[in-house]
Structure 1
Amino acid sequence: MSFSFSRADTDLLQGVIDMHLHTMPCLFDRPLDDLEAAEQARAAGYRGLVLKSIYVPNADRVELVRRVVPGIELFGSIVLNHSVGGLNPEAVRTAIGFGARVMWLPTVHAQHHFDHFGMPTYPWLGQRAGALPQVPVAGIRLVDESGGLKPEVTEILALAKAADLVTGTGHVALDEVYAVAREARRIGYERLVQTHVGWHATDWPIEDLKALADLGLRFEFCINPTMPNRQQQSPRKLTDTIKALGVERCFVATDLGQHDNAHPIEGMRMWLRILALHGFSAGEIDHLARRHPATLLGLDPAPVALALAAQ
């Protein structure tokens, strides 16, 4: 697939990093695979992508994609759902060994996700392998009955700090986010991110978001919730929340890769245009889409900004 954007939109996309993109292979059908995502993003001028697989660590396959699609920074990740053993420090160690740069706490297997949506089903897997019986699994909680973090979560956060992983809060409940944030603050871990602020299952009150900011959290804002067939979240609410929390603590991504949503590159283009229309300066957009993601991923944020300034 090729895109034909105006010169202004082409310039706008140069050097961006999308830290939340869903691709094939996956148990859910996706509109593009790892290779297609990397090739198309490189052609559009992106600096980098974080590829997300809900069910398996993917840093090993991302390493192969790097060799096929040079010229773009590609990062693998791990999501702590039941398919990797849930809150499994050994899975985290393995992902780190393969070069993963981002970890998400439980998403579709979090108890909070079950409370909102029920247990996920896998229509594409059924298509491929025939109808498989749905086996119920327990929702994952990060805290015990007293509200304290489970020991394995403490260990996982220590691993993330030691390896400079970025950790997204996934789909866990607000009390769990607070518990993780307090532990991250205690150990001096500064790469903890609230996943897709404003998404309907993680649409925390602004007072709580500000309290989490005081504990050191960063905040990811995705275009996905605003899509017409999804939550239809107000872009104005998201941009107002960025301003309330402070641009310096926030970054933007897409969380796209679904057949009923915009293509991820078009979604990013829309997001950057929305930011500009809602009063964000070129420097603020540079921070949200380029500098902050680069810093989180351990990249030098300066070269891209300098190159853009020279245009």
Structure 2
Amino acid sequence: MNNATRNPDQIPPTIVLVTGPSGAGRSTAINALEDLGYEIIDNLPLSLLPRLLDGPPPSRPLALGLDVRNRDFGTNALIETIDQLAGRTDQHAQVLYLDAEEAALVRRYSETRRRHPLAPAGSPMAGIARERELLVPIRARADVLIDTTDLSPHDLKAEIEQWFGTAEGRQLGVTIHSFSYKRGLPRGMDIVMDCRFLRNPHWVEELRSLDGRDAAVAAYVSEDPRFNPFFERIKSLADLLLPAHQDEGKAHLSIGFGCTGGQHRSVCVAERLASALAQDGWPVSKRHREMERHDLHVPRSKEQPD
């Protein structure tokens, strides 16, 4: 959840201070800003920041990664830095704060088995609680607050592009998703299409253990007499909507295709549309959610049809 709504005509900042509790996605945000053309300086001691800002003006926007690992990090010092930047007329600065629920931070530390910087010899939970308390005044000063609890790295990158990318000269990014309706819709879909009316490869024994990227599965699905009219209309709709969304300053569009199991039909259509849009020159990425969750080389039972 964000604490503000961006105006599409808003001028992106020349300096972004990126901070938040460890494990909330600061590194992912830094990488996304670098992809947008920002110069990145991570863990710069706050005492050196005035010297950096008083030097020659940067040739491109600057993103500074700041957290408790900084050598002279302190709440009061960072607030003072924010106040100093706010008073400058030669720089436009914003504070980007990445946050997440405590349970999500604990889970991420458990999954990576990393030690928390504020509790190197103890439980990550103790370090997380201490750090969140330390950062409360900084969180209150954030210009952009992004809660990453339910965001994948891809979702977070899309959020960063929406907030800090420039509309001029940037092409709309498109992500094509496949998914299973049994597990619900993926988060953040802009457009969703149902593929469950197409012929189902699950009921063909030699195709059951394959997925929609396989040529045999794609051929089987595309032989459905309804496939070509369906796909042609989807492609025509994309040809209309993508330029329109780009003209409105939108940075990213997510299109989802669902079927029962998320293995055959939705994957096939998603692959076909992603390929067609890439050939047209759109930056396209693909996410096959159920294949990211399971090993689809293991044949599935007849009780779990696609």
**TM-score of the superposed pair, with normalisation by structure 2:** 0.31
- Compare CA radii of gyration and give the structure with the larger one: 2
Q: Which has the higher helix share?
A: 1
**TM-score of the superposed pair, with normalisation by structure 1:** 0.31
Q: Which has the higher strand share?
A: 2
Q: Which has the higher contact order (CA 8 A, sep 6+)?
A: 2
